[in-house]
Structure 1
C-alpha cells in the first residue's frame, strides 16, 4: 500500500515519499517569492540571502507539519513558529510584498503543530501580523484580501485535521485494547469450560487407574472392569471436548450480519442488510454454512470489489425438495475477482462447506457488479422473507 492512513506514521520509504510529495504540493503558492528572486532585480548578495532564507523556511515548515499529532514539547513548537514568523517579517520588509505569503504557511503550521487551545490564538496572531506588514510594505494592501482569508481558513482547517488524527489514533489504540481483552476473555472462558469438562473426568480416570493397579495382581477380572470404565470415561471426555471446541468455532448468522454491517461501513461501502431473522427450526449446520458464506462474500466485497453499495437478502423459498433458505450478496463493484470458471480458494472451500450441509453455491458477475447466492435446507423454519 503506497498511501498512509489518517493517524498512521509512514512505515517505509515509499510511504514517506508519498507524504512528502502530498505536503509539497501546497508549496506551489511560493511561486510569488521565487519569481521575485528570479525577476525582482535584486543584487546577487540579496538573491543568495533570499534563497537561503526561503529554503530554511520551507525545511522548517515541513518538519513542523511532520510533527503533527506526535505530542511534541509545546515550548519548542512555539519557539519554532516564532522564528518562522520573525523570518517571514524580515523577508517581507526587505524583499517586498510577494513574501507576505509566508505568513499563510506560518498560520497553517500553527494549526498543524499546536493544540487547539494555543492555535486559536497563534493563527489570528499570524494573520494580524500579516495585515500589519501589508499596511507597511509598499503595495502590500492589495495582497490583504488574497492572503488573509487563506491564512485563517487554512490554519483552522489544520486544527481540525490535527484533532481528527488524535481521535483516529486514540480509536485505533482503543480497538486494539478491546481486541486484546476480548481474546484474553475468550481464552479464560475456554480454560474454564475445559476445566469443568475435564476436571471430573480426569480425576475419575486417575482414581480408577489406581484401583486397577491395586486389583491387578489378585483380581484381574475386577481390574479389567476398571479399565473398561476408564475407556468409557475417556471416550465421553473426548466427545465433550469436541462439542466444546465446535461450539466455539460455529459461526452464527446473526453475529455475521452485525459483523458485515461494521466491515462494510468501515470500508466505505453502503450496506443494505435484512432485519435480524428468526432462525427457529433452522438446522445448526445450515445456519453455520450461511454464516460462513456471508463472511466470505463480505470479505471479497471489502478486499476486491471497489464497490460503493452492497445488498444482502435472506429469503425462504419453497421447492419440491422442501424449504430452502437463500442468502444473496450483491455489490455494484468492478474489481477483478477472477473468472467464474476459476474460483478462488475461498469460494471453493465455501462451496464444499455448503455441499456438506446439503446446499449449493452460485457466484458470478452481473450487469452492475458481482453476486453470490448460497442455498441450504431450511428445515421447519418460518418464512424470513418472500421468495418464489
Structure 2
C-alpha cells in the first residue's frame, strides 16, 4: 500500500503539472492542429518522465539514459517554437530528470543551466524582469518536486524490498536454527541411548538388576530428547555446563572411558548464554568421541583466564579419516563454531601426539566469561561467508 500510495502521489503531481501546461496552451486560442500537437508532446513527456522516475532507473545503461534524456530535452525545448513560454514548465520536468539520471555533480550543474535556460525564451518574448524570475523559479521548483517525489517513491520501494528480503532471511535463519538445534540435541541423546542399549544387552544375562536400572535411564533420556525436540520449535533451551559435565562423566564411564574432569569451579562463574553454548560444545564433543573414536581416556577441563573461559576436551583413540570432512557441511563442529562466534568466542579442533606417541584429539572452545553484545541470528546468516577459524574434525 505504501509503495502504491507513493507512486500515485508522483503520478498525480505529474498530471497536475501537465494539466496546468495544457490550460496555459488553451488560453492562447490555437487551432486544432496545434492543440493536437501539444497534447501528443505532453503525453510523450509524461511517459518519458514515468520512465525516468521509475525505481531502479539509475541502474540502467549509460547509453539508455543519455538517449532518453536527449529525447526529453527535445520535447522540452522544441515545442517552445509553437507554444512560447506557456510550455516552459516542461523544462522543469527535464531538470528533475537530469538530477535522477546523472551523477550528482553533472546533474546539479545541468539542473542549474536548465533553470537559467528559460531566460532565453522570456527575453525573446520581451518579458519583464518579474516574469523572467517567475519562469526560472517555476522551472527550479518543478524540477525539485519531480526529483523529490521520484526519489521518495524509489526509497519506499527499496524499503519494502528490504523488508521482504529480511523476512525471507528470517525464515531461512529459523530453518537453519531448527536443523542445527536438532542435530546438537538429538545427536547426543541418540548416541547415549544406543550406547546404553548395547550395555543393557550385555548385562541381561549376568546382571538383570543393573540392566533394569540402565533401561530406566534410557527411558529418562528418551523423554528428555522428546522434550528437547518440542523446545526447539520455540527456541534453543537453556543448558548448564555443570549439569552437562556430570552427565558426560556418567555416560563416558558407562562406555568404559576413563574420565578426568577439572573445572576449578569455572562453571559457577559463567553467564547463562555462555554456559549454554559451552554445554552444547561438551555435548557435541562427547557425541563425536562415542561415535568416531576408540577412546579409553578423556580429559575435560574448564578454566577461566581473565574475561575468557576455555573448555578443552582431549581424548585418545583417534580414528584418522581418509575422507576429510567438507568445511561447508553446516553440522557438528560447524554448528559449534557458529554458536561460539555468536557470543564472540571461537572453536579450535586439533590432532596432536602425546608423550607416548599416541594420536589424540583436542577440542577447545573459548568464550567470554559473560556475554556482552551477542550478534543476532540474522547477522550470522549474512556473515556466513566470512572466513572461519581453522579446524580439524574428529570424525571417521
TM-score by length of 2: 0.47
Higher CA-based Rg: 2
Q: With a CA cutoff of 8 Å and minimum separation of 6, indicate the structure with the bigger relative contact order.
A: 2
